[in-house]
Amino acid sequence: MILKLQKQKDYELIDSGDGEKLERCGSFVLRRPDPEALWNKKKELSVWNKTDLKFEREGNKTKWIIDKKVPKNWNINFGNLKFIIKPTSFKHIGIFPEQLSNWQWMSEIITNYQLPIMNEIADGKGLSSRSKAERGKSLRSQPVEVLNLFAYTGGATITCAKAGATVCHVDSSKVVVDWAKENAKLSGLEDAPIRWIIDDVILFLKREVKRGHKYDAIIMDPPAFGHGPKDELWKIEKDFLELMNLCRQLLSDNPLFVLMSGYTAGYSSITYENNLKEMMKDFRGKIEAGELATEETDGNRLLPCGIFARWSKA
């Protein structure tokens, strides 16, 4: 299965090839390395050279070459939300646009969860045939609780919050958590029920298990390698199975969805799918897995961007 991102008002993949990609993000054109683009470029060199920002790597040194007209950061509208774009030393810009399909998938699940019951109440239909006990079981007394791990600048967090969920946003970097808060504010969600947590993911999950906290949905995007705020070490080959075990313990008795995505070279979506099958074996639901990709503007080629696996309640 391929989830592909097509041209958006404030984002498009203009061209790719020779280990690079050419993108428009808002009003500015960026040129960045991309090891997946192992094919020839379509556009002329003159097009590639008309960029506002270009990321270069020489040995262990990296730098952005930025036109004077480009501000330090700028805002875009994307997926009915607003994001602050900031070029970073790791070539990232603060958003992974190819996740849009997953954001829409989560938003729809959260939004529609109570819809049949709410429609009954609004229409005054069908209520007489349902006892108070039945209606009470069907209608949630509290919002859906979502746990977002390795949550970066908050795309999934603010998507779920906008759909009406309570979200716990966890990342080890204060810089990106502050960035996520800015994105939430920009989208009018500064007062949304979001817990902003700066912590090592594994240590946080262990504490949540002890507290007996439960979540209706879990999102995770584990990196290959990383450090916690107190220099705790994360290695996916060493820590991934513990991550999955802890997440399983934190699921509520009536989970709605689990989403896993990744950008770690060498891992397949089948790896994530196998783990989801084991994690969700006691629940009825549907598993989908595959690749995330971005379609070039002319629609004739896809650039692989990452992998995903997701489970949703049947």
Q: What pTM does this model have?
A: 0.90
158 close to 188: Cβ distance less than 8 angstroms? no
Q: Which residue has the higher pLDDT, 152 or 227?
A: 152
**What's residue 99's pLDDT?**
98
Could you give the domains of the chain? 2-85 (2.60.40.1180), 99-313 (3.40.50.150)
Q: Say whether 63 sits in a helix, a strand or coil.
A: strand
**Residue appearing with tokens 């730098």:** 63
**What's residue 225's pLDDT?**
81
d(CA 310, CA 68): 42
- Count of H helices and E strands in the chain? 9, 17
Distances (CA, A) of 5 to 73, 100, 308: 23, 7, 14
**176 falls in which pLDDT band (50, 70, 90)?**
very high
Q: Which two tokens stand for residue 245?
A: 């075990």
d(CA 75, CA 24): 13
Kindly report which listed range (16-20, 104-108, 223-227) carries the lowest average pLDDT score. 223-227
**132 falls in which pLDDT band (50, 70, 90)?**
very low
263 close to 235: Cβ distance less than 8 angstroms? no
**What's residue 137's pLDDT?**
41
Strands (E), 150-215: 166-171, 194-198
Question: CB count, 10 Å around CB of 274?
Answer: 14
151 close to 170: Cβ distance less than 8 angstroms? yes
Is a pLDDT exceeding 50 seen at residue 35?
A: yes
Handedness of CA 192, 196, 201, 205 (dihedral sign): negative
pLDDT in tens, 198-226: 999 999 999 999 999 999 999 999 988 88
Nearest Cα to 223, choosing from 246, 208, 245, 243? 243
**130 falls in which pLDDT band (50, 70, 90)?**
very low
DSSP-assigned beta bridge partners for residue 54: 31, 65
d(CA 160, CA 157): 5
Is a pLDDT exceeding 80 seen at residue 129?
A: no
**What's residue 144's pLDDT?**
95
How confident is the model over 10-14, as a mean pLDDT? 98
d(CA 187, CA 179): 13
Helix (H) or strand (E) holding 181: helix 174-186
Q: Say whether 242 sits in a helix, a strand or coil.
A: helix
DSSP-assigned beta bridge partners for residue 24: 12, 29
Query: Average pLDDT of the chain?
Result: 91
How confident is the model over 147-167, as a mean pLDDT? 97
**What's residue 115's pLDDT?**
59
How confident is the model over 3-26, as a mean pLDDT? 98
How confident is the model over 289-311, as a mean pLDDT? 97
How confident is the model over 167-181, as a mean pLDDT? 97
**123 falls in which pLDDT band (50, 70, 90)?**
low
